[in-house]
Structure 1
Amino acid sequence: MNLHDYDDWLMPLVTALGAAAVGVVVYLVLRPITRRLSRHSPVANAVNRQLDKPLRWLLPLMAVQVALEGAADDLPHVDGVRQLVTVLLIAAFTAAAIAAVRGVADAVAVLHPQDVADNLEARRVLTQTRVLARIAIGVALFAGIAFILMTFPRARQFGASLLASAGLSALVIGLAAKSVFGNLLAGLQIALSQPIRIDDVLIVQGEWGRVEEITSTYVVMKIWDERRLVIPLQWFIDNPFQNWTRTTSQIIGSVFFWVDYTTDLEPLRKEATRLAQGSKDFDGRVCLLQVVDTSERAMKLRLIVSSPSAGQSWDLCCLLREGLIALMQREHPGALPRLRAEMQGPTDTHDHRGELEARLAGQRTGRSEAAVNNDTGMTSLTAPTGGVLPPAEPPR
């Protein structure tokens, strides 16, 4: 085969290049028009932005594909060129479908902003959109790969079988990758039932944090100290966890104190109410101080106070705890827990004042403690550290 065999390609090549140029021109003409028209619709605007790059290739490839259909079938390697253009066209269509899905997801995020006081509905819709968008993108990729395989004669049967028996293939592959597909199904279940949503406040394995991202296989939770906890989706289906924002972000925080039995609770209640009402983190629903437990030494107080969100509740509880401690230290030092002990003397008529006076007199005259004890009838032992232990038993 020599170069003259390709002379017949000159006209089809020029036609294909001309068609590609027409496709580029159509893209350049339609781009500003679609941008101007989509400004009035958030959905159209988001989809248009995402489709911008795929359309740069899709329109010229469509024009080239149409031009090659008119080429003679006896041209050298014409089947290979057509197949190459078809593969590129399928890839461009797949990219456009993925871009459209992402554009719709972006539009939903714009229509349901999270930066509002009551964002429960926005978080619900956003969670469903993100999970379903990832599933749709996976389906589009699967279909694109299957259609590309069908363009090859030897793999056509495999591509057709891949599409026709997708359920059976998923079952067979699922046996080998149970955890992966289990997380995918868990993601679909979470998107529909929504036990968790984006920006929910969770307690998972003792860690407090917010749901930052929900992918098709795992959840990323941002811990309060900026760490990230990555949890498989299947874990949320199989294990219990706390969701502090399941129905509302409002929450009630608790502050505990141990105080003495002689403590007057009314000043503490007034101070707690004053501090709560002066804080921006208090929503005015609950501020209550009660005795919730007692022991042989003190009584336990619980102060409950309500806040609009978990973060504000933490700050408000810290404020009230510090304020009430400062009040007790400043004005009610007797409110702090105390250890009480009762000193019992002998049962006879022995004069303790006489004992004390004799000891003091002995110290002034320099008499030894043994001599004083002998006079008073007391027996004492000296501790190893040099201190004097109390008498082993009352004098008789």
Structure 2
Amino acid sequence: MQSPAGWPILAIAVIGSVLLVEVARRALNRIGRKWALARHLVEHCTWPAFAVAVVVACNLVISPGMFGRTVAERSLAASVEHALGLVTIAAVTWLIVQAAYALTDVVLDRLVQVEGERNRRARRIMTQIALVRRIASAAFIVIALGAMLFSFPQMRALGAGLLASAGIAGAIVGIAAQPTIGNALAGLQLAFSDALRLDDVVVVEKEWGRIEELTLTYVVLRLWDERRLVLPVSYFTQNPFENWTRHGSRVLAVVYLRVDWSVPVPKLREALYAFLQDNPLWDQKDWTLQVTDVLPNGLVELRALMSAADSPSSWDLKCDVREFLVEHVRENYPDALPRFRVDTPETRAGMGWDDDRDRR
């Protein structure tokens, strides 16, 4: 080594660059309480920024003269320079990807807060942003890996040979990657056709749940009992499924009640309306109580219909209404409770019916 003085300079440069990034991090952390972008930059870019600062300092300070002039030392210098180049590409790519996530997180945070009729469009944009940034991150990583591989002279020769046989290689890769590519295209189709969005309420395979995660390859459905159902994206383009929030989050809730014929439907309808007015889960829009069927077992079927702002509210509202109707009928109209009538000879005689005459 002919330049031992260069190593202290390198240490000072590295420490100085790290301290500079730390000062910037503290400043952004302080203003992050009012500026959302600063907070997300600190969350995502702290470690990538430290890595970039270190490799930039090394690239600026390290020179071939630090390793001497012999053949072995020049070879070592070339290896160190090549390794620094690879690390620089990796660190810069890492920083770019994390910065992209920080920028998009600012938009996603605002979209999450959107409620009401604009919520559907907000969830559509959230889904598209999530998929696009995954694609962009994958593209950056692939480009960085390509640049790192082609920095090796042997890989350049291999690349030239591969380009010479690009037709055969392309056909082989196309056939082998057909399911993967088809799945990725299905993910893009779902995101940009507005057929499926994050937080949509769907029924798949007789399971009710919400779309928790939507990627280019799979969809995670969070079921009502906190289980997770993971399905390939292609499933939603090849199979029918129910989307309860396709055009809005508002849902109609239905409760069925089977009671005796003696139930006073108009009074029960008035009681239901009074109950809904005091229930915060009802969105103050649609409601009705109707006799929808006469069952073979001698009961009548009542259907109570009411609207709610979203599916969780709809489920809770249905339970509240069902509990209210059961309690109200039991306390106020006990004669209307479900009962089954049995026709026996004794009852027929008591009512003055003549079996022989009825048969004639």
When normalised by structure 2's length, the TM-score is 0.82
Q: Residue deviations 1:248-297, cap 9 Å, x none?
A: 22111111123334433112111211221121111111120112223443
Number of the residue aligned with 1:319 = 320
**Residue of structure 2 in register with 1:369 after alignment:** none
Q: Is the 8 A contact 2:10 2:61 kept in 1?
A: yes
Note closer, same or farther for the CA distance 1:165–1:313 as it changes in structure 2 (3 Å cut).
farther
The offset of 1:117, in angstroms, is 5.4
Which 10-residue stretch deviates more, 185-194 or 38-47?
Answer: 38-47
Q: In the comparison of the two structures, how many residue pairs are matched?
A: 344
Larger CA deviation: 14-23 vs 162-171? 162-171
Name the SS of the counterpart of 1:290 in structure 2: strand
Q: Separation in 2 of the partners of 1:208 and 1:135?
A: 29
Match of 1:345 in 2: 354
Q: How does 1:163-312 map to 2 (within 5 A)?
A: 172-296=172-296, 297-312=298-313
The secondary structure found in structure 2 opposite 1:226 is coil
Aligned residue for 2:128, secondary structure, equals: helix
* Structure 1 residue 332 corresponds to structure 2 residue 333: yes
TM-score (norm 1): 0.75
1:63 matched to 2:57? The reply is: yes
- What amino acid is the match of 2:229? L
Give 1:36 shift. 6.0
- The DSSP-based 3-state class of the residue aligned with 1:323 is helix
- Percent identity reads 31
Looking at structure 2, the residues matched to 345 and 25 of structure 1 have their Cα atoms a distance apart, in angstroms, of 106
CA distance in 2, matches of 1:141, 1:245: 35
Distance in 1, matches of 2:215 and 2:282, equals 35
Cα deviation, 1:123-175, whole Å, max 9, x if unaligned, reads 22222222222212211221111111011110124467889999997874352
CA distance in 2, matches of 1:23, 1:164: 45
Q: Is the 8 A contact 1:150 1:157 kept in 2?
A: no
Measure, in 2, the Cα distance between the counterparts of 1:137 and 1:17.
33
1:27 aligns with 2:36: no
What is the SS of the residue equivalent to 2:94?
Answer: helix
Bigger CA radius of gyration:
1
Say if 2:114 and 2:122, in contact at 8 Å, map to a contact too.
Answer: no
Q: What's 1:101 paired with? A: 100
Structure 1 residues 200 and 15, CA, compared in 2 at 3 Å: closer, same or farther?
same
Determine the C-alpha separation between the residues in 1 that align with 2:207 and 2:231.
12
Quickly say closer, same or farther: Cα 1:26–1:145, change in 2 above 3 A: same
Between 42-51 and 313-322, the greater mean CA deviation after superposition = 42-51
Cα–Cα, structure 1 residues 313 and 43, in superposed 2: closer, same or farther, change >3 Å?
same
C-alpha contact (below 8 Å) 1:199/1:212 kept by paired residues: yes
Give the secondary structure class of the aligned counterpart of 1:77: helix
The CA distance in 1 between the partners of 2:36 and 2:164, in whole Å, is: 37
Q: 1:153–1:43: structure 2 CA closer, same or farther, 3 Å change rule?
A: same
Amino acid at match of 2:51: W
**Structure with larger RCO (C-alpha < 8 A, sep 6+):** 2
Are the aligned partners of 2:64 and 2:77 in contact in 1 as well (CA < 8 Å)?
no
Question: Which of these residues, 19, 37, 43, is aligned with residue 37 of structure 2?
Answer: 43
In structure 2, how many angstroms separate the alpha carbons of the residues matched to 1:227 and 1:290? 36
The residue type paired with residue 91 of structure 2 is A
Establish whether residue 85 from structure 1 lines up as the match of residue 84 from structure 2. yes
Partner Cα distance (1:27, 1:168) in 2 = 49
By how many angstroms is 1:315 displaced? 1.6
Match of 1:363 in 2: none
Letter in 2 for 1:210: R
Deviation at 1:238, TM superposition (A): 1.3
CA positional deviation for 1:116: 4.7
Check conservation: 1:276, 1:316, Cα contact below 8 A.
no
Q: State the match for 2:123 in structure 1.
A: 123
Confirm or deny: 8 A CA contact 1:147 1:159 kept in the other structure.
no
CA distance in 2, matches of 1:20, 1:305: 66
The 1:263–1:143 alpha-carbon spacing in structure 2 relative to 1, beyond 3 Å, is same
Is the partner of 2:196 in helix, strand or coil? coil
Query: Tell me, what secondary structure is at the counterpart of 2:256?
Result: strand
Measured against aligned partners, the alpha-carbon deviations of 1:153-210 in whole angstroms (never above 9, x if no partner) come to 1012446788999999787435224333332222222222232222221111111111
- Counterpart CA distance in 1 for 2:131 and 2:31 is 29
Letter of the 1:345 counterpart: D
> Structure 1: which 5+ residue stretches go unaligned?
1-6, 349-392
Alpha-carbon contact 1:252-1:306 (below 8 Å) kept: yes
Mapped to 2, the partners of 1:164 and 1:56 lie a distance apart of 41
Identify if the C-alpha distance between structure 1 residues 65 and 158 changes in structure 2 by more than 3 Å, giving closer, same or farther: farther
What is the identity, as a one-letter code, of the residue corresponding to 1:50?
Answer: H
Q: In the alignment, is the contact (CA less than 8 A) between 1:198 and 1:213 conserved in 2?
A: yes
The amino acid across from 1:329 in the alignment is R
SS at match of 2:40: helix
Residue by residue over 1:57-77, the C-alpha shift from the partner in whole angstroms, topping out at 9 and shown as x without a partner, is 212312322444664886242
